[in-house]
Structure formats: structure tokens, C-alpha cells
Amino acid sequence: MPYKLGEVILSREVIAQRVKELAGEIARDADKDKGLVVVGILTGAAFFLTDLVRELPEYLDVRVDFMSVASYGDSTKTSGVVRIFHDLKSSIEGKNVIVVEDIVDSGLTLSHLLGLLENRNPASLKVCVLLDKYERRQTEVKVDYCGFRIEDKFVVGYGLDCAGMWRHLKDIKYVIEE
């Protein structure tokens, strides 16, 4: 099914400002003596995570790790089946962890992932998402830091893709199915 780009819903300037605000909220809440392990969910969150951690103050001990999970494949709808392709390199036991995700909609992938990470006994486990499609929620997940709530339309840019396309866009745009 062919797709085309629609209108910009979040400009790069608006995104940059909100990322700076989120970093401030995280820094305010962080235990300055224990530091943070920031876990990015590849591939979509890589852009957001990079900008976010660069806005955190240098007095925080920030470690970055990545996981790769998927429930979309090449579709615009979740399959409901969560697959882990790449796991963390380091233990998170006893550490303060923030999971950074590009978008949460049904909550199924994130809920599954949080259950997996909770079993690894972190001191704390929080979630930071750039985009929240709350009206699509099928299972409840707690989002501690949210960039933007958006309506239930498929979006791309700033790390978000459609079948691998348009991750590189600096703005976030709607996708239109032709």
C-alpha cells in the first residue's frame, strides 16, 4: 500500500523545546548520587534519546544502553506480538532506569518490555515517551515523562518510520495512505 507525507504536526523547533523541558524534569527528579541508566528502544527512539541525554546536566552520572523490540514489522498497525532483537549489554539491577521510547499507543509493547525489565530488579523504573496516542491504549502503562499527546493518526519523522521510510525527517508529519 503506497503512502505519502501529510502535514507537519510537530516542528523541529517545538520538539527541541519540549525535549529540553523533559530533560529538566528528569534532572529534577533524578537521584544525583545514583545516576541514571537511560534505555533507548531502537530504532525509533535513537533520535529522541540522543537529544534528550545531551540536555541532561553534566553532574548526573548518565549511562546509555539500548534494546531493540518490535511489534509493527512493515505495517502501520501493531501485530500484538513483541519480539526482542537486541537486549541490554549491562545489568540494571539496583539502578535507576528510564526507558526512552518514541511512541506509545496500544501499550502492549511497552507493557511487555516493562515487565521484562522489572524482573531484573532495578531500583526504579520510569518511562519517557516523545509521543503518546493515549486513545489507542489497550493496556495501561504508566508514562512518567511525556513529550506530546497526539491523535490516532500514523506519524513519521524524528526517528518514527513507515516501513523503514522517513525516520530522518526533522519534523514529525502525518502519513496518508493513498
Active-site annotation, residues = 105
Q: Residue 6 has which C-alpha cell?
A: 501529510
Other residues' Cβ atoms within 10 Å of the Cβ of residue 91: 11
Contact 95, 123 (CB under 8 A): yes
Which cell goes with 32?
Answer: 544525583
Q: How far apart are CA 6 and CA 37, in angstroms?
A: 36
**Torsion angles phi and psi, residue 135, rounded to 5:** -65, -15
Catalogue the E-assigned strands of 15-144: 36-42, 62-70, 83-86, 96-104, 124-132
Q: CA-to-CA distance for 69 and 50, rounded, in angstroms? A: 18
Q: Which residue has the cell 539496583?
A: 94
- Dist. CA 178–CA 10, nearest whole Å: 22
